[in-house]
Amino acid sequence: MNELKDKISRLDSTRMPVHVAMIMDGNGRWAKKQGFMRSDGHAEGVSTVHRVTKLSSDLGIKYLTLYAFSTENWNRPDDEVATLMYLIGWAIERELPELLRNNVRIHLIGDIERIPEDARKRLFDARDATAHCTGLQLNMCLSYSSRWEIADAARKIARKAAAGEITPDEISEDLFASNLATAGMPDPDLLIRTGGEERISNYLLWQIAYSELYFTPVLWPDFSDEDYVDAIISFQNRERRFGKTSEQVQNED
Ligand code: FPP
């Protein structure tokens, strides 16, 4: 605990990420290592979700975006999909009082209509119950893939153009972004992927154009508060140039 406090005290409060996105990978391997079922790994992963949400809130991070279930995850064995859906619904309902206590607002991103009714209802209930909260916004990406989101945005824009509400020349980066599921949110400053793989897996492809990427071999159930703070320290030690030169960035500072 003291080690964590010490690490947190080393953070530069003027350079905190506003938006952190996470790819929560490694639940299955964690379970296998312990001789457990894959579903036990997902259940253990829920504890990490609880911890990273609390720490994000305590650190004053405004947006935390979690990749809880991808469009491609529908192709997993039926029993694993069913367990994950059950877990997600159960966890969100169980966590609701704590989310409210911490002023955390739930926002759902993805093709939510595909989520089974029971879990979907619990998710909608949590979203509606936290709609007034003004602290951390917890974006849960469910039945989500970035290509789905981009195609969906293109469809919405095409409909507006076909209806004569906009002309093709009015389609700018800003207009496109305002039709994505993350409309109105700043892009992620930091994207963390646990579990050792170094890929993006169809996640927030538009939004991470200038995000800092952090890959760690730590499996999601083992991802500790210290590991999270290490990722933020790494982020704070980087120079974000957004295509400019180092000299230009330093002069701006
Ligand atoms: C990837 O690990 C993880 C997932 C597909 C699911 C992540 C979901 C949770 C942690 C539960 C979410 C709950 C809430 C409330 C947001 P993997 O199974 O691909 O691991 P592996 O690569 O080791 O097989």
Task: Give nearest CA residue, ligand 1 atom 14.
Answer: 88
In the numeric block, which tokens belong to residue 195? 């579990």
**CA-30 nearest atom, ligand 1:** 23
Q: Which CATH number fits domain 13-145+187-236: 1.10.287.1060, 1.10.240.10, 3.40.1180.10, 3.30.365.10?
A: 3.40.1180.10
Judge if the beta carbon of residue 89 lies within 6 A of ligand 1. no
The tokens for 215 are: 């890959």
Ligand 1 centroid distance, CA of 48 (Å):
11
**Ligand 1 geometric centre to CA of 212 (Å):** 22
Is residue 110 lining ligand 1, measured as CB closer than 6 Å? no
Note the pLDDT of residue 2. 86
Which are the catalytic amino acids? 25, 73
Residue nearest to atom 8 of ligand 1 (CA): 68
If DSSP states are collapsed to H, E and C, what string results for the chain? Answer: CHHHHHHHHCCCHHHCCCEEEEECCCHHHHHHHHCCCHHHHHHHHHHHHHHHHHHHHHCCCCEEEEEEEEHHHHHCCHHHHHHHHHHHHHHHHHHHHHHHHCCCEEEEECCHHHCCHHHHHHHHHHHHHCCCCCCCEEEEEEEECHHHHHHHHHHHHHHHHHCCCCCHHHCCHHHHHCCCCCCCCCCCCEEEECCCCCCCCCCCCCCCCCCEEEECCCCHHHCCHHHHHHHHHHHHCCCCCCCCCHHHHHHHC
Q: How far is the CA of 27 from the centre of ligand 1 (A)?
A: 5
Predicted confidence (pLDDT) per residue in 22-70, tens digit: 999 999 999 999 999 999 999 999 999 999 999 999 999 999 999 999 9
What's the CA gap between 73 and 173, in Å, rounded?
A: 29
Residue 4 contacts residue 194 (beta carbons within 8 Å): no
How much is the pLDDT for 187?
98
Interval between CA 42 and ligand 1 midpoint (Å)? 5
pLDDT (0 to 100) of residue 76: 95
> Which residue CA neighbors atom 6 of ligand 1 most closely?
68
Ligand 1 pocket test, pick from 42, 83, 130 with the greatest ligand atom count within 8 Å of Cβ, gives 42
Nearest residue to 19 (alpha-carbon basis) of 51, 61, 58: 61
- Order of strands across the sheet with 190-193? 105-109, 137-144, 63-70, 19-23, 190-193, 212-215
CB 209 within 8 A of CB 192: no
The atom number, within ligand 1, closest to the CA of 73 reads: 5
Distance 185 CA to ligand 1 centre (A): 24
- Which amino acid would we find at residue 159? R
Q: Which of 151, 165, 161, 132 is nearest to 206 (CA)?
A: 151
For residue 75 the two structure tokens come to 């192709």
Residue 88 CA to residue 142 CA, distance in Å, equals: 10
Q: Quick check: CB of 49 below 6 Å from ligand 1? A: yes
Q: For residue 64, which of 141, 155, 1, 116 has the smallest C-alpha distance? A: 141
For the CA of 140, the closest atom of ligand 1 is 16
- One pLDDT digit (tens) per residue for the chain, 253 residues: 689 999 999 999 999 999 999 999 999 999 999 999 999 999 999 999 999 999 999 999 999 999 999 999 999 999 999 999 999 999 999 999 999 999 999 999 999 999 999 999 999 999 999 999 999 999 999 999 999 999 999 999 999 999 999 999 999 999 999 999 999 999 999 999 999 999 999 999 999 999 999 999 999 999 999 999 999 999 999 987 888 888 888 888 7
Domain boundaries, the chain: 13-145+187-236
Tell me, using a 6 A CB cutoff, whether residue 27 lines ligand 1: yes
pLDDT in tens, 206-219: 999 999 999 999 99
Q: Is 142 in the pocket of ligand 1 (CB under 6 A)?
A: no
How many other C-beta atoms are found inside a 10 Å radius of the C-beta of residue 198? Answer: 9
pLDDT of residue 169: 96
